[in-house]
Structure 1
Amino acid sequence: MKKIPMRKCVATQEQCPKKELLRIVKTPQGTVEVDLTGKLNGRGAYLKRDAAALELAIKRQSLKRALECEIPEEVYARIREVLGE
C-alpha cells in the first residue's frame, strides 16, 4: 500500500491528502502564485479546495502568515477562479 502524502490547510487546520489541497507559493523572486503542479520552487502553503476555507484564510490572514508576505488581491481572485472550475 502506497503512503498518501498529507498536508495541513492553513485556514481550517485540517490534515488532508495533498491532492485535495491547493498549493499557494511565494517564489524566490518574492511573487505569490497559485501552484497547480505542486512543483514550483519556494515557500508553499496549502489551502482546502473550498470557498469557505478561502474566506476563512482571508479573514484570518492565514496565507499572509504562512508565506510571510502580503498577499495581493489578484492571488485571491486567481484562487477563486481555480475553485470555480
Structure 2
Amino acid sequence: MVKKRKIPQRMCVGCKDMKIKKELKRIVRTPEGLIAFDPTGKRSGRGAYICPNEECLNQAIKGKRLQKALEVQIPNEVFEQLKNDIAK
C-alpha cells in the first residue's frame, strides 16, 4: 500500500485561510531584526505567511496581525516595501 505524502499547509495572517505552503508568500524577521520578504521560504528567522495579494496584506496590517506574528513593531516604510515585493 502506497502512503500519501503530507502536503504542508500554513495559515495566511491576512484572511486566516489554511492554504498549501507553496501558494503563500513568507515574510521573515531575521535574527538581526530586519523585516523582509522571503522569496525562497528558507531564510532563518521568525516567519509569517500571507496570500500573494495586496488585500490580504492590508488586512494583516490593519488588524496588526503581521506585527503580532513577527513579535515586533513594524514601521510604515517596511509595509510599503512589502506591498511592492508582493505585487511582483
User: TM-score scaled to structure 2, two decimals?
Assistant: 0.86
Tell me the equivalent position of 1:22: 25
Q: Provide the secondary structure at the position in 2 that maps to 1:71.
A: coil
Shift of 1:83: 2.8
Cα separation, 2, equivalents of 1:77 and 1:2 = 38
Consecutive unaligned residues in structure 2, runs of 5 or more: none
Q: Percent identity at matched positions?
A: 44
Structure 1 residue 75 displacement after superposition: 2.7
Residue 12 of structure 2 aligns with which residue? 9
Bigger Cα Rg: 2
- 8 Å CA contact 1:34–1:75 kept in 2: the answer is no
RMSD: 1.4
Q: Structure 2 CA distance, aligned partners of 1:39 and 1:32?
A: 14
Residue aligned with 1:2, SS: coil
Shift of 1:81: 1.8
CA distance in 2, matches of 1:74, 1:18: 27
In 2, distance between residues paired with 1:36 and 1:8? 17
Aligned to 1:48: 51
- The AA in structure 2 aligned to 1:9 is C
Match of 1:74 among 50, 73, 77: 77
Decide whether the 8 Å contact of 2:67 with 2:73 is kept in 1.
yes
Q: State the shift of 1:71 in Å.
A: 1.4
